[in-house]
Amino acid sequence: MTVFSLTSIATPRSPLLLPVMAALLVVSWSSGFVGIRYANEQASVSLLLFWRTLLSGIILLPFALAFGPKMRLRAVLSQVWFGVMAVFVYLGGFALAIEQRIPTGLVALISDLVPLAIAAMAQPLLGERLTARQWLGTAIAVSGVLMVSFDSLSLGTAPFWAYGVTVGSMLAFALASVLRRGRVSLHMPVHQSLCVHTLTGAVLFGVCAMAQGGIAPPMTREFAIGMAWLVLVATFACYSVYYTMLRLCPVAKVSAAIYLSPPVTMIWSWMLFSEPLSVAMFVGLAVTLGGVWLTSRG
């Protein structure tokens, strides 16, 4: 997931509403990474992502058909290619990195750099120029990610190519987001587009799961808990809070809440899975957040 710019309507009047919604967003956003790490103990990422996307799409399908504009074939097909990039490549890429035991917090950190990548790609592809301050902030943020990455290389056992998969999936999603802008055929209500995206992902993840041995789910309590976690919290609750905040709050505040996800993910992973933490990882994280703030402020 990433931040898509929507017009904010108004800042919430209640002083408690924004902090509560921000906390819910951080928890639900980070739960996507932690949920995959948890469910991966029971099944391969292709199998667990097949069931996550299939269940999400089936639940959304009756609402997509009953509410909103009629889903015409041309509009659906226009959404399919973005579903390939946003769900299969992006979601599958960072899930594969987690399966290879890259620290879950680092995966969250790299995945949440999509807005910065979009800003950088918008200049050569769309002619939207960045200011010197934004380029400086982007460079600082990338430096922070490299600090965390190099430290995790010394602490973890993940193969080097898995780090490239994480970065590549993030860049692929950013490229798809840039190319998506301005295409009227892609303007569809959220529940309808998310339905198409998840069902597209289900088809592709299903093919991968079949190639690895089948799509039958493990009949264990842990897998069921992981699926409930990923579908109800990391998908439906997360998207609901996310889009509600975008309608009520300035986009910069929503972005700030999302960038708190990586440290929360690191702490969750340390508590639940005993993944390593180090001072250097938190220093690199702080550098990254500073660069993000410099790029996005104002």
Range of the domain at 214: 17-296
Distance of alpha carbon 153 from its chain centroid, rounded?
A: 22
pLDDT for position 18: 76
In the chain, how many domains are there?
1
Specify if 2 maps to a domain: no
Counting residues of the chain whose pLDDT is more than 90, the rounded percentage is 18
Q: Are 253 and 133 in contact (CB under 8 A)?
A: no
Specify if 196 maps to a domain: yes
Closest by Cα among 55, 24, 89 to 240:
24
Joined together, the tokens standing for residue 157 give 């056992």
Q: Are 190 and 78 in contact (CB under 8 A)?
A: no
Specify if 4 maps to a domain: no
Q: Are 65 and 71 in contact (CB under 8 A)?
A: yes
pLDDT for position 231: 93
pLDDT for position 240: 84
For the stretch 172-212, pLDDT in tens is 888 877 776 655 555 678 888 889 999 999 999 999 999 99
pLDDT for position 137: 75
- d(CA 94, CA 108) in angstroms, rounded, equals 8
Q: Which residues of the chain have pLDDT under 50?
A: 1-12
Specify if 166 maps to a domain: yes
- d(CA 36, CA 101) in angstroms, rounded, equals 11
pLDDT for position 85: 87
Specify if 142 maps to a domain: yes
Amino acid at 148: V
Stretch (H or E) spanning 80: helix 73-83
Specify if 44 maps to a domain: yes
Amino acid at 215: I
Distance of alpha carbon 40 from its chain centroid, rounded?
A: 17
Q: Are 205 and 91 in contact (CB under 8 A)?
A: no
pLDDT for position 7: 43
pLDDT for position 206: 95
Specify if 255 maps to a domain: yes
Residue with tokens 């010197």: 132
Closest by Cα among 95, 103, 108, 104 to 156:
103
Specify if 3 maps to a domain: no
Distance of alpha carbon 4 from its chain centroid, rounded?
A: 12
- d(CA 44, CA 213) in angstroms, rounded, equals 10
Cα 26–Cα 31–Cα 33 angle in degrees, nearest 5: 115
